[in-house]
Structure 1
Amino acid sequence: MTIRRLAVFGATGDLTGRYLLPALAALRAGGHLDDRFTLTGAGREDWDGPRYRDWTAAQLERHGAGLPADARRAVTAVTDYRKADVTEAAEVAAVVAGDDPVAVYLALPPSVFPATVTALHRAGLPPGSRIVLEKPFGEDLAGAVELNRLLADLVPERAVFRVDHFLAMTTVQNVLGSRLANRVLEPIWNSTHIAEVEIVWDETLALEGRAGYYDHVGALKDMVQNHLLQLLCLVAMEPPLTLGERDLRDRKLDVLRSVRPLTDYDVAHRTRRARYTAGRCGGRDVPDYVDEEEVEAGRRTETYAEIELELDSWRWTGTRFRLRTGKALGRDRKEVAVRFRSVPHLPFGQDKDVRPNVLRFGLEPENLSLDIMATGSRAEHLAPLSLTAEMAPPALPAYGRLLLDVLAGDPVLSIRGDEAEEAWRVVEPVLSAWDRDLVPMEEYPAGSDGPPPRHPAPERRDELLHPETVRPGGS
């Protein structure tokens, strides 16, 4: 059943203005929304409908200027606004009131999700309604479990959309397409041939006005716990029987369950955290993170996070998975890099400058490239060669695809409840060890490559050094 009513809580925030409104205009331009569609925004500002429509038009002009003007005007025309406290059932009820089902989008900080879901339950939703939650889902494992319980009392699991816009990106979906539709890749998609998979989201952007949210979350929760772990799932999952929501989600869950739990020793040697200091980045001066407006230095929030994971599975034992993200870095690097092992023998009499093959899925910009070695000017001499293919522009932006799925009731690109909990299980040992300062808070100048490289972790694990920490089946 297609829903034609969307209610956005947090409707005056950056997410709504920068992403949701342009996504709706793109859907309208593509013929996916008709004249019966309506949008109700709810926020703390004491605005009325005309004031919000003016704001909507300004946001669409700023962030959706490339979209047809008539599509932008159409979205603005069907928009209304109500001031509402998202924790008060009566005010929430006024936003969602009506006989037709409504899709409720929580464009809110995760800390208020439980209170808002509780208010929605008390207010009551029309039958067939759906609820959409932004990442991160909860603030820790216990919070995710409790939030899942609250949602189960509100709507069926299929009506819960824990969205991650990374899953709607063309290149991210092409990870599956490249693997599963090409016989040349799937037979070598395992630890016998792949030494390391690096999943990176490095950006030159600093806080850009998001300190009020970011300083409470940090890089690990903002990016690694959701976006990068979702990419890990698509890279490492077993081939599903179909791309239907049950088969795809089951295989993603298998990957998260296979992640070897990190001990304190692992966290100390296989994770890093850092935050930027003053520097020059992207042609602008950036202050120390702790001097940014709305930042509380005592929180010790990281702007750079890196973790190395291992999967205990038949396919992947012996392959390293490195997940990394950072803000205010010297260059944007957003990709999944699959690094293959070296060939067993080279008959060229050349043992230096021979690089292993790397298959790269570029996320922004969206492209696909393969680094190989080829013969150079002489037959016995090797030289690196990069083969690159630019991806065709997507028909819809990532948020457009997600909203289309929400309105149509297709949860294939949303995250199931048990999957959300399992993702927290992966990162909770890191959060715990970081809270106890088992990993130092490093620093890096804004505009640099991040914290300086460090020596590889010792091969021996802490269970070898401390027998009392041995896990059944551990290495």
Structure 2
Amino acid sequence: MIHTLVIFGATGDLTGRYLMPALARVLDMGRLPQPFRILGLSYQDWTEEQFREHTAEQLERYSDADEDVRARLLRSLAYRCADVADRQAVIAAVRDCEGPVAAYLALPSALFAPAIEALSQALPSGSRVVVEKPFGDSLESARALNRLLHRSFPEDAVFRIDHFLGMQPVQHVLGLRFANRLFEPLWHRDHVDRVEVVWDETLALEGRASYYDRAGALRDMIQNHLLQLLCMVAMEPPASLDEHDQRDRKVEVLRAVRRLSADEAARRTVRARYGPGRIGGRAVPAYTEEPGVDPARATETFAEVVLSLDNRRWAGVPFFLRSGKALGRDRREVVLHFKPSSYPTFDRNGPVEPNRLHLPLDTDRLVLHLNLNETNAPCDVRPIVLDTDLAPQQIPAYGRLLLDVLAGDHSHSVRDDEAEESWRIVEPILSAWEEGRSPLHEYPAGSAGPSVSAAPDERDRLSAA
């Protein structure tokens, strides 16, 4: 177990909003190794006391830990001013660290390469490096970053973080599928009509234009988070819950995803960005009017893609991956739409609504849509909803991932080939968009999304296949 965490970008939003509150939570639960030290590195010319004051403010804002826990965490902090691109400065900053450390790169992706090169000479033997998403911005850049990491560290010392994999509802997918004989036989093209993986947000940019305008919804959400969810839903049963078996099954899914041609991208994708509107009574300017946005980039804030898997289990089943910002409601879930009943007995008043299984991702719930006889009309049916609350997540997603890093457990991190396969899927779509094969639509902020859908004729054909 590693006892020292070095955070590059320690004064940034990721550290203050997510890492420090997660560390406070796991400290409160008694899960951090003791003694434990956190060394923050950043370009800010601050004293240690200034760093502690800044972190205290962030904990007050984002953490629900009590005052005593926050004080204990603050006492574990140290700080050094260092330019991550300055190899000698980085070496000097971590020189006093005793034993192996975990170096967390909470940095813009453009700084990953110089930071990794500096760390390769600075970290004590047995140390680990943690790389936040986005892991590259193209297939070639992901390969280049992997080559650099492989030259600098053994693969088992590298953790590519996707915090969705630390979310408890995502982990529930494995138990639901493989611990229940009821579901596993139905998790198949013979019974499933289509699958939706959705992450819709009422949140707009909220000060992230410097990053988001160079990424967009496809790169920011679908290339990493939603493709990881696709893997969890579609994978074959792993031989064990060992990290190697799980990650092997995930890579198999990504390799089975059919790359879209330019013509298919025109039919099976939609991109859009939000215009002016209102969300919850709050006026929201158009995306192009947000500070820091360059309209010429034509960055999308909404993306939907329809993917197919060329394997025995899922052949012919469309997977709809969708994410958008500044929408009218938050919708974050995986939905399995089952095929209609093959028995026409109850069809006299019209088609019976097919069953659906909803796996919410932002709450600990499970929702199943079924059909039952009407109480006073036994020849008719009515839809019912079975909705149950699950035990809430005790450890936040980032807390779970940090504990994995300290323990050397890769179960919830992304392997090198996973990262590259994700870009293999997304790059043809990006290329088709750059060629103008799919128009950039606009939707009002606070609406349900674009007024067009991803080629309705194609949707109908895929769902009927």
Identify whether the pair has TM-score above 0.5, normalized to the shorter chain: yes
Deviation at 1:108, TM superposition (A): 1.1
Partner residue, 1:88: 86
8 Å contact kept, 1:111–1:139: no
Partner residue, 1:284: 282
Deviation at 1:90, TM superposition (A): 1.2
8 Å contact kept, 1:336–1:360: yes
| In 1, Cα distance between equivalents of 2:168 and 2:127 | 28
8 Å contact kept, 2:32–2:403: no
How big is each residue's C-alpha offset from its partner over 1:400-447, in whole Å with a ceiling of 9 and x where there is no partner? 000000011101100000111001101010111111111111100100
Deviation at 1:7, TM superposition (A): 0.9
Deviation at 1:345, TM superposition (A): 2.1
Partner residue, 1:465: none
28-37 vs 438-447, which moves further = 28-37
| In 1, Cα distance between equivalents of 2:457 and 2:86 | 51
Q: CA RMSD in A?
A: 1.6
TM-score (norm 1): 0.94
Q: Any gaps of 5 or more consecutive residues in structure 1?
A: 462-474
8 Å contact kept, 2:271–2:441: yes
Structure 2 counterpart SS, 1:350: helix
Partner residue, 1:16: 15
Distance 1:120 1:143, change over 3 A: same
Amino acid at match of 1:159: A
**1:272 and 2:270 correspond:** yes
| In 1, Cα distance between equivalents of 2:330 and 2:351 | 26
75-84 vs 442-451, which moves further = 75-84
Deviation at 1:185, TM superposition (A): 0.5
The equivalences for 1:180-329 within 5 A come to 180-329=178-327
Partner residue, 1:469: none
How big is each residue's C-alpha offset from its partner over 1:206-241, in whole Å with a ceiling of 9 and x where there is no partner? 011111111111111110000000000000000000
450-459 vs 26-35, which moves further = 450-459
Amino acid at match of 1:109: P
Structure 1 counterpart SS, 2:348: coil
**1:31 and 2:27 correspond:** no
How big is each residue's C-alpha offset from its partner over 1:226-275, in whole Å with a ceiling of 9 and x where there is no partner? 00000000000000000111100000000000001110011000011110
How big is each residue's C-alpha offset from its partner over 1:141-172, in whole Å with a ceiling of 9 and x where there is no partner? 00111111111112111111101111111110
Partner residue, 2:156: 158
- Once the two structures are aligned, what percentage of the paired residues are identical? 52
Amino acid at match of 1:184: L
Distance 1:353 1:63, change over 3 A: farther
8 Å contact kept, 2:8–2:42: yes
Structure 1 counterpart SS, 2:383: strand
Amino acid at match of 1:78: S
8 Å contact kept, 2:346–2:352: no
| In 1, Cα distance between equivalents of 2:103 and 2:320 | 35
The equivalences for 1:129-168 within 5 A come to 129-168=127-166
Among 322, 339, 342, the residue aligned to 2:340: 342
Amino acid at match of 1:232: L
8 Å contact kept, 2:104–2:129: yes
Deviation at 1:348, TM superposition (A): 2.0
| In 2, Cα distance between equivalents of 1:282 and 1:459 | 31
Structure 1 counterpart SS, 2:271: strand
Deviation at 1:77, TM superposition (A): 1.1
| In 2, Cα distance between equivalents of 1:12 and 1:385 | 50
Partner residue, 1:360: 358
**Aligned pairs, how many?**
459
TM-score (norm 2): 0.96
| In 2, Cα distance between equivalents of 1:363 and 1:43 | 33
Q: Any gaps of 5 or more consecutive residues in structure 2?
A: none
| In 1, Cα distance between equivalents of 2:42 and 2:419 | 27
| In 2, Cα distance between equivalents of 1:199 and 1:186 | 19
| In 1, Cα distance between equivalents of 2:346 and 2:172 | 35
Structure 2 counterpart SS, 1:58: helix
93-102 vs 186-195, which moves further = 93-102
Structure 2 counterpart SS, 1:348: helix
8 Å contact kept, 1:96–1:102: no
Partner residue, 1:435: 434
Deviation at 1:202, TM superposition (A): 0.2
8 Å contact kept, 2:268–2:458: no
Superposition misfits of 4+ residues, deviation over 6 angstroms: none
8 Å contact kept, 2:203–2:327: yes
Distance 1:291 1:412, change over 3 A: same
Distance 1:453 1:391, change over 3 A: farther
| In 2, Cα distance between equivalents of 1:439 and 1:48 | 51
